[in-house]
Amino acid sequence: MPHSISQESSIDEDFSMPQADAQPIKEETTTQPQDVEMADADSPKEEQDAKVNLEDLFNDDDSDGEFTSSAPSQLVKDQSPEQPIQVTSKSSYSDPEIMRAFYQRLFPFRYLFQWLNHSPTPTNDFAHREFAFTLPNSAYLRYQSFPTADLLRKQCLQLLPSRFEIGPVYSTNPRDRKTLRNASAFKPIMKELVFDIDMTDYDDIRTCCTGANICHKCWGFITMAIKVMDIALREDFGFKHILWVYSGRRGAHAWICDKRARELEDTQRKAIAGYLELLKGGEKGGKKVNVRRPLHPHLERSLRTLKDNFQTSILLDQDPWVSGKAEHLLNLIPDPTLRTALQKKWDSAPSRPSASKWNDIDSVAKVGGLSITPKALVEAKQDIILEYTYPRLDAEVSKKKIHLLKSPFVVHPGTGRVCVPIDTRKVEEFDPLGVPTVTQLLGEIDEYDREKGEGEGDKKDKMQDYEKTSLKPYVDFFRGFVAGLMKEEMGKVKREREDSEAMEF
Partner 1 sequence: MIRHDKTRIDAKRRANLDYKKRQFAKPEFQKRDFEHRLNYYILPPTEEITLEEFETWAIDRLKVLSELNSCTYRNRSPEETAEYMTPILNKYLPLHSNSSNSRALQDERKKDHYSHFILRLVFAGSEGNRQLFSRLEAMLFRMRFKEDDFRERREFVKSLDLDWEDVSEEEKKQLAPELTAVSGFKKGEEQDWFKVDFTRVPELVEGRKVLLKRGKAYVLQREQVSLVVSEFQTRLNEALELTSRALPRLDEDDRLAPILHHLSQAFTAPEAAYSSSDSNIDGLSAPTAQSIDALAKHFPLCMQSLHNDLRANSHLKHFGRLQYTLFLKGLGLSLEECIVFWRRSFKLMTDDKFNKEYKYNIRHAYGDVGGDANRRGRGYTPYSCQKLLTEPLPGPGQSHGCPYRTFAEDNLIRAVQGMGVNDRDVLNAIKDDKKKQRYHIACNRVFEFTHKKEIRKVKEEGSWSATDLDTILHPNTYFKRGWLLKHLGEGNAGVVNGGEKMEE
- Minimum Å gap between C-beta 294 and partner 1 is 4
Least gap, CB of 329 to partner 1 (angstroms): 15
Q: Are 186 and 172 in contact (CB under 8 A)?
A: yes
Which range of residues in 22-30, 56-64, 423-431, 461-469 is near partner 1 by CB under 8 A?
56-64
Contact predicate 170/189, CB 8 Å: yes
Torsion of CA 393, 394, 398, 402, to 10 degrees: -170
Site string for partner 1, 373-412 (x = CB under 8 A): -------------------x--x-----------------
d(CA 204, CA 392): 12
Q: Which of residues 256-275 bind partner 1 (CB under 8 A)?
A: 260, 264-265, 267-268, 270-275
Question: How far apart (Å, rounded) are the C-alpha atoms in residues 392 and 221?
Answer: 9
Task: Measure the N-to-C terminal CA separation of the chain; round to a whole number of Å.
Answer: 46
What mask, x for binding partner 1 by CB under 8 A, covers residues 293 to 332? Answer: xxxxxxxx--------------------------------
Q: Which is nearer to partner 1, 138 or 470 (CB)?
A: 138
Residues 6+ apart with CB under 8 A from 263: 189, 190
Q: Is residue 433 involved in binding partner 1 (CB under 8 A)?
A: no
The reply to whether 55 belongs to the active site is no
Looking at 198, 201, 383, 444, which residue is catalytic? Answer: 198
Q: Residue from 35, 39, 68, 197 that binds partner 1 (CB under 8 A)?
A: 68
**Contact region with partner 1 (CB under 8 A), list: 201-209, 302-310, 345-353, 436-444:** 201-209
Buried b (16+ CB within 10 A) or exposed e, 362-378: eebbeeeebebeeeebe
336: contact with partner 1 by CB under 8 A: no
Cβ distance to partner 1 smaller for residue 281 or 491 = 281
Active-site position among 35, 66, 196, 444: 196
Compare residues 70 and 415 and give the one whose CB is closer to partner 1: 70
Among 44, 282, 455, 457, binds partner 1 (CB under 8 A): 282
The residue among 52 and 209 lying less far from partner 1, judged by its C-beta, is 52
β-pair partners for 405: 166
Residue 504 makes CB contacts below 8 A (sequence gap 6+) with none
Interface positions, 463-492, toward partner 1 (CB under 8 A): none
Residue 283 falls in the annotated catalytic set: no
Give the residue with the Cβ less far from partner 1, 21 or 236.
Answer: 236
Q: Considering the rule CB under 8 A, would residue 283 count as an interface residue with partner 1? A: yes
d(CA 212, CA 151) in angstroms, rounded, equals: 34
Residue 340 CA to its chain's centroid (Å): 44
Grouping H, G, I as helix, E, B as strand and the rest as coil, residue 379 is helix
- Nearest distance from C-beta of residue 3 to partner 1, angstroms: 29
Helix (H) or strand (E) holding 54: helix 54-58
198 a catalytic residue: yes
User: Which of 2, 33, 281, 369: binder of partner 1 (CB under 8 A)?
Assistant: 281
Interface with partner 1: number of residues (CB under 8 A): 56
CA-to-CA distance for 155 and 429, rounded, in angstroms? 36
Q: Exactly one of 204, 362, 429, 447 binds partner 1 (CB under 8 A); which one?
A: 204
> Catalytic pick from 14, 130, 192, 258?
130
Instruction: By CB under 8 A, tell whether 5 contacts partner 1.
Output: no
DSSP-derived pairing of the beta strands 129-134 and 163-170 = antiparallel
d(CA 315, CA 331): 18
In a 13 Å sphere around the CA of 190, the CA atoms on its Cβ side amount to 19
Amino acid at the residue 76: V
Q: Are 24 and 150 in contact (CB under 8 A)?
A: yes
Q: Based on the shown chain and the rule CB under 8 A, indicate whether residue 200 belongs to the binding site for partner 1.
A: yes
- From the list 2-10, 63-71, 74-82, 468-476, the region that binds partner 1 by CB under 8 A is 63-71
> For partner 1, which stretch binds (CB under 8 A), given 38-46, 48-56, 411-419, 445-453?
48-56
Q: x/- site string to partner 1, residues 223 to 242, per CB under 8 A?
A: ------------xxxxx---
**DSSP secondary structure letters along 432-489:** GGGSPBHHHHHHHHHHHHHHH-SS-HHHHHTS-GGGGSTTHHHHHHHHHHHHHHHHHH
Q: What amino acid positions are annotated as catalytic residues? A: 130, 196, 198
- Which residues are at the interface with partner 1 (CB under 8 A)? 51-53, 56-57, 59-63, 67-68, 138, 200-204, 235-239, 260, 264-265, 267-268, 270-275, 277, 279-288, 292-300, 392, 395
